[in-house]
Structures are given as C-alpha cells and as structure tokens.
Amino acid sequence: MKVYEAQDIRNIAFIGNTGSGKTTFTESILHQSGVINRKGTVEDNNTVSDFIEIEHEKGYSIYTSPVFLEWKNTKINILDAPGLDDFVGESINALTVADFATVVVNASNGVEFGTDIAVNNSRNLNKPIAIAVNKLDAENIDFSELYNNLKDSFGTKVAPFIVPVSTGAAFNQVIDLVNMKAFTFAANGKYTVEDIPASAEAEASEFRNQLVEAIAETNEDLMNKYFEEGDLSNEDIISAFKIAFKNCDIYPVFAISGRQSIGINSYLDFVVDYFPSAKDFMSKTTDDREIAFDSKEQTSLFIYKLYSDPKLGDLSYFKVMTGSIGSGHELVNHKKGSAERFGQVYSIRGKNREELPTLQAGDLGATVKLKNTHISDTYHDKLFDIEYPIIKYPRQKIRIAVVPKTKGEEEKVGTSLHTIALEDASIIVEHSQELRQMLLFAQGDQQLQLIKWRLSNRFKVEIEFINPRVPYRETITKPARASYRHKKQSGGAGQFAEVHMIIEPFVEDSPAPGDVTVRGRDLHKLNWGGNLEYVSCIVGGVIDARFMPAILKGVMEKMEFGPLTGSFVRDIRVYVYDGKMHPVDSNEAAFKMAGRNAFKQAFVEAGPKILEPIYDVNIIVPETYVGDIMSDLPTRRGVILGIDVEGKVQIVKAKMPLAELDHYYSSLKSITQARGTFTSEFAEYQQVPPNVQQELMNDYMKQSEDEE
C-alpha cells in the first residue's frame, strides 16, 4: 500500500447498539474492497475485527478493532467499536481519533439504548454523525416508520440520503436521493445505476424533499433559494452537505445490509466522494490551539489504544496528529519527558498489520514495544512543544472489591490489575489503605467478567469479587466530659498523666462551655474530611505546654480508629481544661495514653453516630420505567429529589447511600431490561438509621473478636 496524505484519508468510528451489525458491516466493506476474498461471519468466529478468543466465546465485540482499506485511491480507516455499554471506553477511544462516526442501527429494532449512547457520545466529542440503517434484508421493516423514529430521537438534522426500494428478502435496490438514481446490487455486492422504478418514484421524491429541507435548514441562503424554487440543485446540496456534515448540522442516513452486502459500495462511494477527509478537520491542544493535520509540520502523535498479547506483542495504537512517523524516528513522551526511538510503524487490520515506511498526519497506525506509555499520551519531536487533551470516560457505575482465590497472591492481583487498567483506561484500580481492600471501579458486569477472564488467562491468577467496604465515618451529637488518669508503677520510673476533657460536635464559632477559659485554638482539617479543633484551656500550668501535643496525638490515634466501627472520626472539638502531672513520672507517652483514653470515654457518652457517604444519583431511563424506578428507590434508602425530562428519556434525581449504590447497577439493568443507566457523584456524609448503626456495630464487634 502507498503512503497516504490527510486529504486522501477518512477515519470513521463504527458505533451503535450491540448486535446492530458493525462488525458484519466492517467485514462486508473489507470484502467489497478486495482486502479479503472470503467474507467471515460473527457466527463462524472468523471476522477480521472480532479476532480475540473471548470475542468468539461471547459472540460480540469487546475491543475496538481498527481496519484499513483502499477505495477509489482513498485510505479508509474504520474503527469497529463494541456496542455494549460496558465497553464504552473502547468506543470513546475510537471516537476520539475518528473524524466522524457512523452510527449503525438495527432496522428491526430502530433506535435502541446503545443508539442513544452512541449519538450522545459523538455529540459530546463534537464528531459528525452518519447513520447506517442495517439489516434491511430482514422481514417486517417499515423504512418510513424507522426514519421517523430516527427523526423523533435525534431531531431534524436526520436526513435521508440513500433509501431502500423495498426491504426483506427482496432488498437489493437503493435510491441515491442526491442524484435521484436507483442502484441495483448483484449477489457479489456490485451495483448498476438505473432509473428509479416507477413504483418507487412517489416515495423517493417525498424523501428527496426531506433531504432538501434538511440541507436548506443548515444555510440561510439555501433556505431562501429553496422557498423560491421549491428544490435545490445537486451542486448546492453537495457543497452545503460537506460543510453541514463537518459542523454536525446534518446526519445523513444510508440504507444497507451488511450480511447481504447491499448498499456497502454506495456507502463507500459516498464516503470518498462527499465526506470530509482528515485534512478538513482540526485537532485541539490542551492549551486550546487548533492544529491542522499537516504532514509538513514537526511530528506529534496521540496514543488512543494499547493492547498486549503474546502473539501480537505490545502494541501502541496512535493517530499521527502532525508531521509523519517512521522507523528510527525519536520522539519525546510529553508527560514523562522521556525519549523513545520508534520501531517499525504499521497500519493495522484486525490481527494483521502492514508495515509502512511512514505514516502521515491524519492517519492511524501502531507500533510495538513503546515503553512506559499510557492511553492519552502525546509524543512529539523534541523541540515541538504540544500536548493533546486526555480522553475522558464516563464515571464508573460499579464499585467492587477484588481478592485472590489463593491467599498470598494479593500483590500479583494488584500488579495484574494495574496492567489491565493501562489498556482499559475506563476502569480505576485503587488499593484503599482506609478500607484495606483492592477496589475496582468498572463500567459494567460484562467488563468485570472480562477482567476476571484476562486475569485468569493472561496473568494466571484467579480472583473473586466481594462486597467493597464502605468508608463510614463516626462523629458525636452532644457534648460530654471525661477525665482519665494514666498511672503505672512498675519498679523504676513510673508513668503518670491525668487529663480532663470536654468534647462536643464541631460547629464553627460556637461558644466555649462557661466554666473554661480558652488559651489557644488549633484547627485541623482532617485528611478524611471534616475538622478537629483542639482547644487548650489549661490554667496555672497544671499540664505543661510540652505535653499538649502528646495529648493531641492520643486523640488523633483514636480518631483514626473510631470506637464504634474502627472508622475515621470527624467534626469534633476537644477542650483540654484540667489535669495533673507528676514531677518525675510524667512524660509524653503517658499523656498520649491519657488523652487517648479520655477521648474514648467521652466519645461513647457523646451520642456517637455512624455517618455514611451519600451520593447524588441521576437515573436515566425511558419514560415507561419511571414508575418502577420510583417505587424501587425507597427500598434502597433512596430519596427522590425530582424528575427531569430530556427528549425521550427521563432523569430521576435522587440521593442514595453508597452501601446501596454498590448493588444498583444490576438491579437497574433488570428493572429496565438493560435500557437504564445512571451517573453518581459523592454528595455528603449523613447519619445512618439506628437499625443500620446497630448492625454495623455488631458486625464490627464480631469481626474484632474473630481477629483476636
């Protein structure tokens, strides 16, 4: 293959609901372009883009698979992304480096949950959208109804460009509404151009009107012209389309059947003839500069995917943002500051790759054995200071703890999970010191299963998922006093310290108790949230100033390990107002002990409460499920705040404790037949209900006994 420049490159992300036919469409394209002689099927596990064993086992795509082909002297890079929401990270990676998206829709199902997500993600990333309506060879499809369904869902930007003459077994003809011609497809996928059959003329001109109207909507001059003349010329349509598409102002619709190879060649022709090339787009840098895909510039690359496999090696996938890259070229990793000499560069097609002398700006490629590289890294020439923004993923919906099946393999699990997280930046792995657990934050259940599979197959370590602990907090609700004398006489030097303290809930600027004289205040912002104010009220030197920090240390020790459940304590004010010293036996250790025990005693008298993290949750569901969601929420201690309507979905706003949120993902999926999703954000700490507090304290007592 020759080396292509940006103006002859198209980068397209295939996204859309799982099962809509993206992988089949990709396969059909590769077949039509002559890259493969035999067309594989998802059923036979022999497609180019689903080539990883687990994809065969599951029967759907899990990874974004880049493929390339040539069509009419143009290089087309297709990123076949998985449709399942669990792997949304993969489709966001694909969209990030694609110039535009083709959202594939299953004609039998119309707009599905995954279609909405695909369109929303494209919109969020400002990527133009084309829509391929697939499986038109299936029975009982009403294309007009489907088209209206698309318009209802995504607005008046949706415009028909290539529509079917008939659907079902008879589907072998489409109409190009720009040129008003019929394309008849032979069994080999090639088409001949004919006049529109008389029986389809009326419907075709109705669709053509819709197309012209949608185009006119994007440009005022054209709108006026359309009003005057009742139609637009093909030249007007095409030149307006190119601009409108690039500006995300029009979503052209194409009729296809990936399985039957109908409409594939007409889609590809359209891509080459009318869709913008990589040269027509700009990229943005972290400092908001707009940069052209210019191969004459110095070189910069953006890493969008990493995959390592014993057979394929450690692959880093990139987009050439500026300049060009070839073997031996040394670039600097912007974040790490380290230089890397690139080895051979490839265009990738599933598990195969083609080595190229160089890849030019605007193209996609990969190389092996880049060290210390992460997804979203920018590489550039040494003196070319540039960085591209990191890819952002949706907040993870599942929080779960991971333990090895075999004790002692904790470290292996940890390092393996970190390696997995390098390749899948949509998850977070965190070793929580506080909870003493390895936590995994993931996008969905299927993703968890994949991680388990990877750990077992690639890293040879078996794990189990268990409930994550909740970062509870403890606090008090009323003031209490305690005094504690620490005294030890064991042979030589003894230990002596006596501390009297008052503790109260921390409320800013509240007055001190009447019987104490404040000498000094010390406000500590706690690492785990909340405050501790330490107030000295010592008069007449009953406790030496040098012992005051030791008392605080004792208090702090107990605050790190609360009396009720061993959780962090927060929002407390401590007054040390009296005490006693011994001229010989008093020392810092003794005062620390006294401080700690006085605090513990006072704490249990001060109406102690357990606090739990509460999250703001937005539950996004089709209207039909709102009732079920509302009646389910109270069973999870959820508090409903309100409902927003956004297009066809409704957003139920609620507050929910983290302990319940941890199990919400799968419940929501089952309540909504997988059509619901949610986002969540930490809101605040709130007291747990008394019955939950009792349960938690009992659990803690039992656990402490077990440990002893």
Ligand X SMILES: Nc1nc2c(ncn2[C@@H]2O[C@H](COP(=O)(O)OP(=O)(O)OP(=O)(O)O)[C@@H](O)[C@H]2O)c(=O)[nH]1
* Strand arrangement of the beta sheet that strand 531-536 belongs to: 480-488, 495-505, 572-580, 531-536, 520-525
CB nearer to ligand X: pick between 26 and 367: 26
- E strand or H helix at 703: helix 690-707
Q: Which of 10, 22, 500, 570 binds ligand X (CB under 6 A)?
A: 22
Give the dihedral sign, CA 323/325/326/330. positive
> Which residue type, as a one-letter code, is found at position 554?
G
Largest CA distance in the chain: 113
Least distance in angstroms from the C-beta of 522 to ligand X: 58
Smallest distance from ligand X to CB 49, Å: 8
- Which region, left, alpha or beta, applies to residue 354 given φ > 0 means left and ψ of -120 to 50 means alpha? beta
Nearest distance in Å: CB 91, ligand X: 9
322 binds, among ligand X, Mg ion, none (CB under 5 to 8 A by kind): none
CB 639 within 8 A of CB 654: yes
Q: Please name the residues in contact with 289: beta carbons below 8 A apart, sequence gap of 6 or more.
A: none
CA–CA separation, 163 vs 241, rounded Å?
17
CA distance 530 to 684: 11
Q: Is 373 in the site for Mg ion (CB under 5 A)?
A: no
Give residues 22-61 in contact with Mg ion (rule: CB under 5 A): 22-23, 61
Cα–chain-centroid distance for residue 249? 26
CA distance 133 to 112: 12
Question: Residue 511 corresponds to which tokens in the numbers above?
Answer: 């007055």
The residue (of 65 and 587) whose beta carbon lies closer to ligand X is 65
Task: Kindly provide the residue ranges of all beta strands, DSSP E only, lying in 188-289, ordered along the sequence.
Answer: 191-194, 251-255, 282-284
The span of 252-260, 321-329, 370-378, 383-391 binding ligand X (CB under 6 A) equals 252-260
Q: Between residues 103 and 386, which has the closer beta carbon with respect to ligand X?
A: 103
Which residue type, as a one-letter code, is found at position 43? E
Closer to ligand X by CB, 147 or 293: give it. 147
Min separation Cβ 222 and Mg ion, Å: 38
Q: Residue 601: left (phi > 0), alpha (psi -120 to 50), or beta?
A: alpha
Binding residues for ligand X restricted to 64-103, rule: CB under 6 A: 82-84
In the complex, least distance from residue 695 CB atom to ligand X, rounded to whole angstroms: 42
Residue 42 found at the interface with ligand X (CB under 6 A): yes
Binding span for Mg ion by CB under 5 A among 20-28, 147-155, 432-440, 550-558: 20-28
Beta carbon nearer to ligand X, 102 or 396: 102
Under 8 Å CB-to-CB from 221, ≥6 apart: which residues? Answer: none
Q: Which stretch binds ligand X (CB under 6 A): 40-48, 244-252, 363-371, 428-436?
A: 40-48
| Contact of residue 100 among ligand X, Mg ion, none (CB under 5-8 Å per partner type) | none
Q: How far is the CB of 79 from ligand X (least distance, A)?
A: 12
For residue 115, the minimal CB distance to ligand X (Å) is 11
Give the span between the Cα atoms of 182 and 162, in whole angstroms.
9
Q: Which stretch, 13-21, 226-234, 393-401, 634-642, contacts ligand X (CB under 6 A)?
A: 13-21
Nearer to Mg ion, 22 or 329 (CB): 22
Q: Which of 127, 259, 349, 353 binds ligand X (CB under 6 A)?
A: 259
Q: Which CA distances in Å does 455 have to 309, 431, 446?
A: 13, 17, 14
Q: Is 536 in the site for Mg ion (CB under 5 A)?
A: no
134 binds ligand X (CB under 6 A): yes
- In angstroms, give the least distance from the CB of 256 to ligand X: 7
| Of positions 19, 40, 554, 595, contacts ligand X by CB under 6 A | 19
Binders in 60-79 for Mg ion, by CB under 5 A: 61
**DSSP string of 68-108?**
EEEETTEEEEEEE---SGGGHHHHHHHHHH-SEEEEEEETT
Contact residue for ligand X among 3, 35, 54, 138 (CB under 6 A): 138
Rounded CA separation 93/80 (Å): 11
In one-letter notation, the amino acid at residue 383 is L
Contact call for residue 40 and ligand X (CB under 6 A): no
Number of other CB atoms surrounding residue 290 within 10 Å: 9
Q: Which does 345 bind (CB under 5 to 8 A by kind): ligand X, Mg ion, none?
A: none
Question: Which one-letter amino acid corresponds to residue 36?
Answer: I
367 binds, among ligand X, Mg ion, none (CB under 5 to 8 A by kind): none
Q: Applying CB under 6 A, what is the total number of residues that bind ligand X? A: 23
Among Mg ion, ligand X, none, what binds residue 475 when CB lies within 5 to 8 Å by partner kind? none
Residue with tokens 């602990």: 469
Select the binding partner of residue 40 from Mg ion, ligand X, none (C-beta < 5 to 8 A, by kind): none
Residue 416 interacts with ligand X (CB under 6 A): yes or no: no
Of 188-196, 234-242, 251-259, 678-686, which segment contacts ligand X by CB under 6 A? 251-259
- Binder to ligand X among 258, 323, 554, 608 (CB under 6 A)? 258
- Which segment (134-142, 451-459, 503-511, 517-525) binds ligand X by CB under 6 A? 134-142
**Pick from 203, 193, 95: which is nearest to 147 by CA?**
203
> Residue 200 burial (CB < 10 Å; 0-12/13-18/19+)?
middle
Nearer to Mg ion, 138 or 272 (CB): 138
Stretch 200-239: interaction string toward ligand X, x if CB under 6 A: ----------------------------------------
Q: Considering only 22-30, 290-298, 417-425, 699-707, which stretch makes contact with ligand X by CB under 6 A?
A: 22-30
Selected range binding Mg ion among 19-27, 181-189, 537-545, 553-561, rule: CB under 5 A: 19-27
Helix, strand, or coil (residue 206): helix
Nearest CA to 86 out of 465, 393, 467, 458 is that of: 393
Cβ 579 vs Cβ 443: under 8 Å: no
Residue nearest to ligand X (CB): 83
Q: What share of the chain is helix, strand, coil (3-state, %, to 5)?
A: 30, 30, 35
Counting residues that bind Mg ion (by CB under 5 A) gives 3
By CB under 6 A, name the one of 61, 437, 536, 677 that touches ligand X: 61
| Closer residue to ligand X, CB minimum distance, 264 or 438 | 264
User: Mask 362-381, x = binds ligand X (CB under 6 A)?
Assistant: --------------------
Distance CA 21, CA 61 (A): 10
Kindly provide the b/e burial profile for residues 449-485, where b requires at least 16 CB atoms within 10 angstroms of the residue's own CB. Answer: ebbeebbeeebebebebeebebbbbbbbeebbbbbbe
Q: Is 344 in the site for ligand X (CB under 6 A)?
A: no
Helices 198-216 and 234-246: crossing angle in degrees, nearest 10, is 50
Residues that bind Mg ion (CB under 5 A): 22-23, 61
Residues that bind ligand X (CB under 6 A): 18-24, 41-43, 60-61, 82-84, 104, 134-135, 137-138, 257-259
